[in-house]
Amino acid sequence: CITGSVAANNAQKKDDIDLLIITSPGTLWTTRLMLTVITELFQIRRRPKADINQVENKWCFNLFLDSGQLNSFASQQDIYTAHEILLAEPIYNQNQTYQKFLNSNQWVKKYLPNAWRIKKLQNKYQNKTSKKLLIYAVFGIIIIPIIKIIEPISYKLQKMYMIHRIKNETVTHSLAAFHPLDHRQRVIDWYNQRLQQYHIN
């Protein structure tokens, strides 16, 4: 999914492209490793310490999520997280993964019911040709078991590399959230202040 300013249709020319990647169960860290290598080779990856004026059109993988743990945000049920979930725009949707992501986070309806309804209507159907389904099946049977074997090694190596760089990021086996500048609490505080200002309970 595309997230951030591009998904919100308010990106500036110099902005990067934020992406949410949902992986097959038990393949998150190997997937991240492969994406990092490929995008580095093509010089399209935004690096963590890149200058703000040098990130135009760079791909920023700031959120990875294991499809076996799609409700990983259940502990952060607030309007900010609900907005971030519903803002995401799917660009590749194998096996209706995006619909499963929404269904696993139905709590967002409490905060943004209209946005939830629109998202559900927009992403109600998905059509795949039988040829594509066959390719996905072969890939799953052959490649994913291999990835799952090396997954623990990928996780340990990348966590060791990150251990002294982690600030506000969340790094687990099933979730990798890279937001060194976490705006969540600041936005929620601002939102609550506005509610009080207009005497809204």
Tens digit of each residue's pLDDT (9 = 90 or more) over 68-78: 999 998 888 99
pTM, rounded to two decimals = 0.86
- Look at residues 168, 135, 174 and name the one whose alpha carbon lies nearest to residue 22: 174
- What pLDDT sits at residue 125? 58
- To the nearest whole number, what is the mean pLDDT of the chain? 88
Burial degree of 119 (CB within 10 A; 0-12, 13-18, 19+): buried
147-169: per-residue pLDDT in tens?
Answer: 989 999 999 999 998 888 777 78
- Look at residues 165, 168, 162, 164 and name the one whose alpha carbon lies nearest to residue 180: 168
- The answer to whether residues 24 and 67 touch, using CB atoms and an 8 Å cutoff, is yes
What are the residue ranges in the chain where pLDDT is below 70?
A: 124-137, 179-182
- The answer to whether residues 69 and 174 touch, using CB atoms and an 8 Å cutoff, is yes
Provide the token pair at 46: 């935004």
